[in-house]
Every structure is written in C-alpha cells, then in structure tokens.
C-alpha cells in the first residue's frame, strides 16, 4: 500500500481522530454488517463478550466507536466502492480500483 498513488485521497489517522457516528454509518451502509468492519484481531476484544443474539450488531457498533483498534483497517472508499481490510484479495482489488480511477 505504501507504493499506491493516493494523491487526492483523504487520509484519516484513527489514532488521532477516532471514527465518529456519521462516518461509521456511512461505512455500514456500504457493507453487510458492522461485523464486516470489526477487527477480530483487536487485543481489546478479549475483554469484551459479544452476544450471539440480536444485540451483537449494536455491541460491535459501540466497540468501534469506543476505540479505533476495533475497526478493521485499512479502509479505502473510492467513488461507490469500499475496500475493508488487508487480505490479498481486498488489497489487489483496491489497487486495481485506484489505478483505474
């Protein structure tokens, strides 16, 4: 990702400026669930028990708003596309989208 052409792309340092509710809702509207935005490797996650019931999505939402480490990163929003995470499949798709913008 360090070699990607990010000119004209707004970057947000989540360590300095945590995601706010409207930004999170913007992302959530473009994926299937808050769970897709959850960083399941977050060390703080072991301190929180997530239910398996209908409250799970709201619990995840609150965790992401509470601390940046619960948000899967990186996230690239490009036009109407969103790329979440750093799997090979996602990063290759994001790189291609950036090259074709």
Q: What is the pLDDT of residues 42-86, one digit of tens each?
A: 999 999 989 888 899 999 999 999 999 999 999 999 988 999 999
Does residue 14 sit within a domain?
Answer: no
| CA 90 to chain centroid | 12
Domain that holds residue 72: 21-99
User: What percentage of the chain exceeds 70 in pLDDT?
Assistant: 98
Does residue 45 sit within a domain?
Answer: yes
Does residue 57 sit within a domain?
Answer: yes
Does residue 65 sit within a domain?
Answer: yes
Residue 92 has pLDDT above 70, yes or no: yes
Does residue 36 sit within a domain?
Answer: yes
Omega within 30 of 0 (cis) for the link into 35: no
Does residue 6 sit within a domain?
Answer: no
User: What percentage of the chain exceeds 90 in pLDDT?
Assistant: 74
Does residue 39 sit within a domain?
Answer: yes
Does residue 76 sit within a domain?
Answer: yes
**What is the structure's pLDDT at 1?**
67
Name the token pair of 44.
């703080």
Residue 28 has pLDDT above 90, yes or no: yes
Mean pLDDT to the nearest integer, 11-26: 93
Taking the C-alpha atoms of residue 75 and residue 39, their distance in angstroms, rounded to an integer, is 12
Could you tell me the pLDDT band of residue 10, with boundaries at 50, 70 and 90?
A: confident
**Domains held by the chain: number:** 1
């Amino acid at each position: 990702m360090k070699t990607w052409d990010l000119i004209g792309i707004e970057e947000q340092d989540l360590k300095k400026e945590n995601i706010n509710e409207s930004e999170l809702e913007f992302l959530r509207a473009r994926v299937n669930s808050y769970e897709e935005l959850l960083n399941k490797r977050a060390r703080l996650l072991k301190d929180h028990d997530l239910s398996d019931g209908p409250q799970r999505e709201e619990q995840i939402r609150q965790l992401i708003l509470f601390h940046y480490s619960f948000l899967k990163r990186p996230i690239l929003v490009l036009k109407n596309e969103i790329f979440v995470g750093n799997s090979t499949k996602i990063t290759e798709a994001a790189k291609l989208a950036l090259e074709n913008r």
